[in-house]
Chains A and B, each alone.
Chain A
Amino acid sequence: MSGYILGALAAALAHGSVRVVDLTLTLSPDFPTIVMPPELGQSAPFRMERISHYDVKGPAWYWNNISFGEHTGTHFDAPIHWFTGRDLPLNSVDTLPPADMIGPACVIDCSKQADEDADFLLGIDHILAWEQVHGRIPQRSWVLLRTDWSKKSGAAYANLQSDGAHTPGPEVEGIRFLVEERGILGFGTETIGTDAGQAGHFSPPYPAHHYLHGNGRYGLQCLANLDLLPPTGALIFAAPLKIQNGSGSPLRVLALVQERSTG
């Protein structure tokens, strides 16, 4: 049975009827990281220092040392990342059940709203409206919030104002609904966090982190190319680095997308 499915998948990939979409942004030193008040601990940005480049430090080879925080670039949040998930079993990236690294995705397109309002919040009404069209969100699926934010860069991407960042994200009740009523596997965004830029002022603060991780669910952020995914039907591969007791990690996120059948 499985041989039959995987063989068919392999053929479809070879044939092109199943496409692989890369949902990952490039790790580079000038990519924005989450900004915390300066007296708090900070996430290290991506850095690369050369070991050798076919030179005296290594005549035939080129390689680098790299460093970054766990939550840098396109990255995965494990439940242990938030206090609400600290006592759950299998809550760190090294104990993450491998089955959870692959799952279907529902893509909710809020790009218009986010374009008009950087502080756009995804509420229950938006979710229900989406379900009206695409059907009920299946359990254990990723919900990806499409805002086209990944098409921005630099200051526009971070969108820091004197009162903090202004980027879209889920409303308290919206994320709660997805976790508790729909039983999603995880929630993904194109912005620096799974939460909205101003979510520190919500109650509870940072509700996506609060509810997702408190219920053993996952987060993906800084995703790209969500506009290439269908609202339903894509299969997400999101396997973070196996870091002992790690709270998350940069990763390559891939989506399998079946071309709409012409027959």
Chain B
Amino acid sequence: MTDITTEKARIGAPSAQPFINGFTEEGESLSPLNAAESKAPLAGEAVKRHSHGGGVGIPDSSRAGRLTSYKLADFKPLTGMEEDWRFTPLKRLRGLHTEVLGGAAPAVSITAPDSVRVETVGRDDRRIGSAAIPEDRVSANAWENFAEATVITVPSEVQVDGEVSVLLTGQGTEASAQHIVIVAEKFSKSVVVLDHQGTAVVSENVEILVEDGAQLTVISLQEWNDDAVHASSQQVKLGRDAKFKHIVVSLGGDLVRVTPSARFTAPGAEVELFGLYFADAGQHLEQRLFVDHAVANCKSNVLYKGALQGRNAHTVWVGDVLIRKEAEGTDTYEANRNLVLTDGARADSVPNLEIETGLIAGAGHASATGRFDDQHLFYLMARGIPEDVARRLVVRGFLNEIIQKINVPAIEERLTEAVERELAATNH
């Protein structure tokens, strides 16, 4: 184990506001969480532990101090100045943060082997809230408004051949709420694909429970139409020795904001969080992830890669990794790489590693945004390769590292083709 002498190191964090001892921000610290009232399992201890730390000495920008609650009213209306919304164009959320989400949610159509249980349940189902708690206002808004939830269960010790395919087809532009629960029971092994298509304005909560010894891969594909708006909180809770692989692929939509969170509850568990995004002119693709190392001896590995082309293509990647005092023996690495293909595109990348214990196996982060520049282009063209082919060659190679991790040939092929289509779009 590496012995890091710094008690608490914050690397790459956006400059934390100076915290003044004893200072409380009234609105926030006095906000009643009413945790006891909620029946949801995460609301008790978790809410208290995660509740906003404005009054107890945790600076606002520490991920540990972020407010979480099932109640929309606990989250103040958004201004765009909040740390977790500062990059998001709120105007383009089309009411996901302000309106009652009463529109028809994207239609759910599931193809799954017989061994997998698929149910549609009401709001009072005991599994609702078993793995997730909203971390922002838009997620809480969906939690308060969803009509019914889809619950997918992979029973204990079942190894599923092939993947569970969940097709979510948008039903139009009325702001809506969606709720999905995925439970991978003990020692099961499976792959679930969430395939988002069509036109929707939707806030979605995906709860993922990976029980002891289970292995689960969740692939979330955002291939929306150009006018879609999608906020998706995808939270996973891991049991002992559980393994979870998450792959987020965002290609289509006007604004897509995916916020994956992983929480360890017992030692020996491992998460791999991968992402691929390709923003064209005018698109806003945002990914903010959180890995909460709250227990000892867990592993996390994060790699997101993004390509951008066209005017006002904007991508955001924020990677919050928190290694709590209890989480000795943690091994974590996170990286984000962006490739800017044309002028006028902008990639924001903020790795944010907080370490509260010195007794860890490893912790690292990396962030790099490179330009596909004239020198690369000249070299390839000087070998006879036409400009469009050269561009494709570079981007394909760059993104392939993530596509290869999917391991579902049909989806790999589909994404390779989708990337080619993105490149063919002449918006630069």
- Decide whether A and B are members of one complex: no
User: CB within 8 Å of B: which residues of A?
Assistant: none
